Structure 1
Amino acid sequence: MQLTPADHAFITGGASGIGLGIADALLKRGVKVTIADINDEALAQVLASRGNGLRGVLLDVRDREQWREAKEKAEEVFGPVTVLVNNAGIAPDGLELADSVPESFERIFAINFFGVYNGIVTFGSAIRSLGRGHILNVASMAGLSGDRPTAGAYSSAKYGVVALSETLRAEMKPHGVEVSVMCPGLVMTNLPANTARVIGKEARGAMPGGLDAGVAGEMAVRGIERGQFYILTSFGRDDPIRKRFEEQLAAFAAGPDPDLA
């Protein structure tokens, strides 16, 4: 997609981390940006440090009524949204599936999966009617390989985001709207603190190590400009993904049991 100053991007989880990195990369290109976040303090700090091309709205991505209100507020000032970035999410809970707590499992899905769905159902038809635009859903490397113990809820939700994005791409392509799914590896963000805020626990600091969030944001926007479907930030981690598809292809190659054919 060719980004222009006429475009308006709406980014969830936009007051920090990858979301803010994407916002900054878009602002550099002259795109008007609305960042939505559940953290009012972080929103205020970001808005105080950026120019007039940025606005902010409070949003809990689990709440569809808040989504409706956020869309109205955003488009009152900057006009129709042409770029939707569904980025908001929380971290894994560190529990094995056999020991999982249903409330925690459901919360991870409510934010990491249904938060993306809510964005699509709020903005998707309007973007489709414009005949141009881009929808970027942020998943994770965990959405491509689910072999990490204690991340069952998280991986399942992120796998769902990848599948949702694949279907959305097929649906939007005839209307001139592009779709991407971003699958970042380790990125330096305050995801642990944001997760703690949502679940009501003591906040921890930023994730150690990993890619700078600003760099990840630039990678995302370049992916949008190039029309990439899969946007990655980490490379050389394809062994578990290759193994997964090799197992699937081997199952197809084996064919049915002769006794059951």
Structure 2
Amino acid sequence: MGRLDGKVAIVTGASRGMGESHAKRFIKEGAKVMLTDLNEESGQKLAAELGDNARFTKQDVTKLEDWTRVVAATEEAFGPITILVNNAGILGPVTTTVDLDEEAYQKVMSINADSQFLGAKSVIPSMLKAGIGSIVNISSLAGLRANYGFPSLAYVASKFATRGMTKAIAAEYGANNIRANSVHPGFINTPMMVEATDEGGGDALKEIFLGRLAEADEVSSLVLFLASDESSYITGAEHKIDAGMSAH
């Protein structure tokens, strides 16, 4: 038996990086998964590779109407939703607060934070019908601490917002058997991280106890645990996966 047998999940930002890895692990463990992303070509290709238990739909996670459509399509294909992984996110510009323009700030907040509110708002009614739910919000080590210059204030603010929303959802819907947890990765070997630093992680390696970047699948192991019934008494919590970076 798979660890997610009978579960129905939505994974955003699923066409590459951590989202792709989460979707693959979920399918392997028996879940039915709706993958969403703006990258339609990659998303459709991945869903086809994953088989009958996977679907893809193009989604702008900052639009409530897109969330409404995705939830309806998922329920039509697989039934009530029991897992939501709010994974979609961007790094945004690496700059100082003074040089960060308002448009760039709003874009980062919209994609990283507002989308997670819209996701929860849209999916929780389906979870209430199912009588169970697990929301996994992907935050960052930057949702626990700030570093000068990298990443920017916008990224840090968005990831702290994720942490707060997660706790509020956990408090509000715990009595309905809906759990919410945030995941706080450090430096992960994904296209977004490599684009921002390099394949070796740049100067970050000095702070990483294990001396290497994490692979996306290592984060997926934690996300899988939080999505599954194995974590049935865990909610409203931050889960660090940073090889000791926050232990300094």
TM-score, with structure 1 as normaliser: 0.82
SS in structure 1 of the partner of residue 109 of structure 2 = helix
Check whether the contact 1:190–1:206 (CA below 8 A) recurs between aligned residues.
no
State the distance in 1 between where 2:198 and 2:174 align. Answer: 36
Deviations 1:221-244 (A, max 9, x none): 12333424322221312246xxxx
Question: Which residue of structure 2 aligns with residue 185 of structure 1?
Answer: 186
Distance 1:205 1:181, change over 3 A: closer
- Asked if 1:157 is matched to 2:150, the reply is no
SS in structure 2 of the partner of residue 13 of structure 1 = coil
Question: Which residue of structure 2 aligns with residue 238 of structure 1?
Answer: 246
Check whether the contact 1:182–1:231 (CA below 8 A) recurs between aligned residues.
yes
State the distance in 2 between where 1:158 and 1:25 align. Answer: 24
Report the residue type matching 2:174 in the other structure. K
State the distance in 1 between where 2:96 and 2:124 align. Answer: 35
Question: Which residue of structure 1 aligns with residue 215 of structure 2?
Answer: 212
State the distance in 1 between where 2:175 and 2:73 align. Answer: 29
State the distance in 2 between where 1:114 and 1:205 align. Answer: 23
Offset of 1:130 from its aligned partner?
A: 2.7
Check whether the contact 1:21–1:215 (CA below 8 A) recurs between aligned residues.
no
SS in structure 1 of the partner of residue 69 of structure 2 = helix
SS in structure 1 of the partner of residue 98 of structure 2 = helix
Offset of 1:124 from its aligned partner?
A: 1.5
State the distance in 2 between where 1:29 and 1:55 align. Answer: 16
SS in structure 1 of the partner of residue 226 of structure 2 = helix
- Match runs of 1:80-99 below 5 Å: 80-99=80-99
Question: Which residue of structure 2 aligns with residue 248 of structure 1?
Answer: none
Q: How many residues align?
A: 229
- Match runs of 1:94-173 below 5 Å: 94-150=94-150, 151-173=152-174
State the distance in 2 between where 1:118 and 1:112 align. Answer: 11
State the distance in 1 between where 2:199 and 2:76 align. Answer: 39
Offset of 1:26 from its aligned partner?
A: 1.1
Deviations 1:110-132 (A, max 9, x none): 10000111101111132134321
Question: Which residue of structure 1 aligns with residue 13 of structure 2?
Answer: 13
State the distance in 1 between where 2:175 and 2:160 align. Answer: 24
Offset of 1:3 from its aligned partner?
A: 4.7
Check whether the contact 2:62–2:114 (CA below 8 A) recurs between aligned residues.
yes
RMSD over aligned CA atoms reads: 2.0
State the distance in 2 between where 1:73 and 1:7 align. Answer: 16
Larger Rg: 1
Check whether the contact 1:188–1:206 (CA below 8 A) recurs between aligned residues.
no
SS in structure 2 of the partner of residue 33 of structure 1 = strand
SS in structure 2 of the partner of residue 91 of structure 1 = coil
SS in structure 2 of the partner of residue 34 of structure 1 = strand
State the distance in 2 between where 1:29 and 1:206 align. Answer: 33
Offset of 1:28 from its aligned partner?
A: 1.4
Check whether the contact 1:188–1:211 (CA below 8 A) recurs between aligned residues.
yes
Distance 1:192 1:45, change over 3 A: farther
Deviations 1:31-81 (A, max 9, x none): 111111111121122123222111111001011111111111121111111
Distance 1:206 1:6, change over 3 A: farther
Question: Which residue of structure 2 aligns with residue 63 of structure 1?
Answer: 63
Gaps of at least 5 residues in structure 2 are: 201-212
Check whether the contact 1:128–1:172 (CA below 8 A) recurs between aligned residues.
no
State the distance in 1 between where 2:155 and 2:96 align. Answer: 11
